[in-house]
Each structure stands twice: as C-alpha cells, then as structure tokens.
Structure 1
C-alpha cells in the first residue's frame, strides 16, 4: 500500500521538499501529490492524502485526527512576503467594505478575518473567489492573495494599490511568529506507517538543512527558471521565512486557534500533538 504525501505547490514550502530522495521514496512506496493548500486540506480530510503539508487552520479543524511532524512548518517571524491584502483604500478605511478572499487557502483567509475583525474591529463582507487581482478588485474594495500568486502580483502592482503583509500585522499585534502550514499525518496510519514516516521525516529535515547551508542558492536557480525574479529577491524572501516549529511557534499557533475560536471560525483546540519516532506522538 502506498504512502500518499501531499506537497503544497508554492515556493514557500519548497525547502522541505527540494532535496528529498524521490526516486528512493518512490521505490519504498511513497507517492507525491502536489496541490494548492485548500485542495490538500480537503484530500487529507477525505483520507486521500496520508501525510504532508496542510494549512495550520485545517490541522485545527482536525486536531483529534491528525498529528504534526515536529520541527517543520511554513512560518514567518515577521513579514511573510507572500501573503498580502491588496486594497484600494488604507486598511483603516475598510470598515463596512467588501473584501475578496482567495479560494486557495484556509489559514490565511481566517488570519485575515482575525486581523480585520479582532485587531481592527471592522465589519466586513467577504466573498471567496479564484485568485486574480483584477477580477477580485472589480467589485470589491480589497482582496487577499497568497503564495506564488501574491508574489507575481506584487511585482506588477500599481502604486495606487495599498499592500499589507499579514505576517507582519500578526507580529505587530502578538509579538509571535505566524505558522501558516504544518506537516501532518493522519492518526489512523501512524502505527502502520511508522517506518516510512520516519524515513520521510528525516528527508524533510535533511532538505531543510541543505537549503539553509547553501543559502537556498540551488533551489533559487530552479525557481527563477519558472517564476523569474531576481536572485536577491528570492534570497530576501527565504531569509524572511522560517521552516521550524519551536515552542514560540506553538505558542503562536495556540493564540491563532484561540482567536479563530472567539470569532466562531473553529472549535476550541486544547492540545497540539507532535509525532515522535520513539513514542509515536506526544502532546504539548
């Protein structure tokens, strides 16, 4: 039986996957499925994906069914650089306005609701749309884009459009990192697949380590062939991201879940469970 691995198809997740020994992993029965976060979230919930990158919010929705792989995430200590609110007016003037949300995300969509409704105390009308700046802003006052869609949009953005980095706003109000995605495993396969999960986990950790050691240079060369952008832009982008999952990250996750619960977006998350090769999982 294959171990099906979800792979978020955005560059912000790439350091965890870039140096994986895919030929070897394929030989031992691992199969990779690259999709945008919202698709992976649904596939994991439906039991189609066994392990891999999902939105942090989706983990919160299925906290009793999933376990997180430790030391791995897509996070930002401050600015994330690829999750933006683009607005026709300053953010302080959005009360009572209409905001278009990308259909690609879960964490970022709910983070924006927390920011606008809790941090700024605004009443907003939301619409979920496909990620396209011009279409989204035709009938809306602002829109949110994430990942590579946000990066490419940023490069061609009109100076008249205001832009706000959601990671930066979160940090300014909480002084904590924001974790947008985690690597999670469905609990029902943990016992059965402990050996392959262990091999995969070591691969993720080694890939992250290699990217940091060579300053992301090899990976950036590959990215530029597809998305363009200067080497300096991508260096700055990856230096601004973080792929760890420390106690501070967990503290930020609990706060994010609590804020989502206060708005009725999520049921209360009491315990975050981390996988361990020795005892399979432990709670923190």
Structure 2
C-alpha cells in the first residue's frame, strides 16, 4: 500500500513539497494527491489520504483519529499575508454586512468567525459563495489572497495572522502536519517516518536557496505574481512547530469550542 499524501499546490506549501518534484521514482511508495486544504481535511476524515499539512482545525473535527508531526507546521511571524479579509468598510462596521467565505480552508473561516465575534463583537452575514460586487467583504487564502493584495480593489484589508497575534500575543498556526493513525500501522510506518524526514530536508533546502527551489515549484504551479513578491512572501512564514505555537493551537481550539465551532477541545497528540 502506498502512503497517500495530501499536497497543497499553494506557495505557502512550496517548502514542504518542492524537493519531491522530479524525484517521484525515489518515493515509489508515496502517492501525492493535489488539492486545497478543504479537500485534504475531508480526505483525512474519510480515510482517502494518510497525511497532509492540512487546516489545523481538522485535528479537532475527528478527535482521537490523528496525531501531529511534532516539529513542522505552517505559521507566521505576525503577518501571514496569504489569509486576509478584504473589505469595502472598516472591520468595526461589518455587523450585518455580507462577508463571503472561501471554500478552501475551514481553519481560516473559523479563525475569522472567532476574531469578528470575540475580539470585535460583530455579527456579520456570512455567505459561502464567491465574492460578488454587491458583497461587503471577502475572506481569501493562499495564492488568491496574495494576488488580491496586488490588485488593490478594496479600501481595507486585514491579515488574520496579525489580528490573532495582536490579540492573543502568540503566532497563529494555520496548518499542521496531520497524520491519520492508519499510517502508523506496520506496513506504512517506516514509509511515513522516511517521508517526514525527507520533508524536513526539503524545508532546509528551501531555506538555503529559496530562489532555486521556487524555479522548480513555479514550473509546476505557476502564479500570477511578480517574482519579488513571491520571494518576499517567505519572510513572513515559519515552519517550526514550537512550544509557543502548540499553545496557540490549543488556544484556538478553546475559542472554537466556546463558540460551538467544534464539539470539544482535543488534547494535542504527537507522533
């Protein structure tokens, strides 16, 4: 059986996956499945994939089914730049206004709801549909958010990573390497451990020479952004799952449970 890995073809995940492109024959026991975080959230829960750097809230949506890689995550240094609320009006005026939600990431959706309700005391009208000109605001993630940054179509934009850190004083964890416990069975566990070590090496190579690594990534997954914007983006990102970030993830789950967005606060369980 192959280890099925959910691969997210967004710039934010390039450090995780660039080093595997063109080296598939070296990982014949690994099968990559491309899709957005929402697809891999569903795949983890229904058993169609074994692991992914998926939306962090996935871990809490099926308690007891997963473990986390202990040292790798997707976080930021204050601003994340690729998870943003774009608005026609100041954030304080969004009560009873229409906010369109991306379908790509449940973590970002729930983070936005927590921020608007608990930090700002707002009750907007949420709409799970693409943004229309008549709408007041929209939540975008990933490459779509980075591209919207360059268009300057909205009077206001808010970085959700910055809003969380300014409020809670810890960096937000947007994605964690979530591993289904089925991948810990004898037939897959050694492949899993080898794959995660290769992922750590991939991150290390990206840090050493991001421009060269991006050449490989962008040849497979091009974006409509200036190269300088792409390369500068990584100055905001951090992939180390520190103790501080683990506390932040637990805090996020506490707020989500308080608002009924998840059933209960899970205990973090690591590989």
TM range (shorter): over 0.9
Aligned ranges 1:110-121 → 2 under 5 Å: 110-121=110-121
1:234 counterpart = 2:236: no
Matches within 5 A, 1:97-116: 97-116=97-116
Whether contact under 8 Å (2:75, 2:175) holds in the other structure is yes
Question: CA 1:50 to 1:223, structure 2 compared with 1: closer, same or farther past 3 Å?
Answer: closer
Residue 82 (1) aligns with residue 82 (2) = yes
- Give the corresponding residue for 2:201: 206
Whole-angstrom distance in 1 between the partners of 2:9 and 2:215: 17
Q: Deviations over 1:208-259 (max 9, x none)?
A: 1111112x11133345562143333223210101111010110110011001
- Structure 2, unaligned runs of 5 or more: none
Shift, 1:151, TM fit: 1.1
Q: Deviations over 1:125-153 (max 9, x none)?
A: 111114xxxxx142321110000111112
Structure 1 residue 13: Cα displacement: 1.1
Partner of 1:8: 8
Q: Is the 1:77–1:177 contact (alpha carbons within 8 Å) kept by the matching residues of 2?
A: yes
Q: 2:27 corresponds to which residue? A: 25
Q: How far off its partner does 1:64 sit?
A: 0.9
1:130-279 residue pairs with structure 2 within 5 A? 130=130, 136-158=131-153, 160-192=154-186, 193-214=188-209, 216-222=210-216, 226-275=222-271
Contact 1:102-1:145 within 8 A present in 2 as well: yes
1:34-61 deviation digits (Å, cap 9, x = unpaired)? 1011111111111100112211011121
**Whole-Å separation in 1 of the counterparts to 2:266 and 2:63:** 9
Superposition RMSD in Å: 1.5
Pairwise CA distance, 1:180: 0.7
Partner residue in 2 for 1:73: 73
The answer to whether the 8 Å contact 1:56/1:182 transfers is: yes
Could you give the per-residue CA deviations for residues 95-120 of structure 1, whole angstroms, max 9, x where no partner exists? 12111101111100000001100000
* Mapped contact 1:137–1:143 kept (Cα < 8 A): no
Greater displacement, 146-155 / 199-208: 146-155
Q: TM (normalized to structure 1)? A: 0.89
Q: Once the 2 structures are TM-superposed, how far is the Cα of residue 76 of structure 1 from its aligned partner?
A: 1.1
SS at match of 2:249: helix
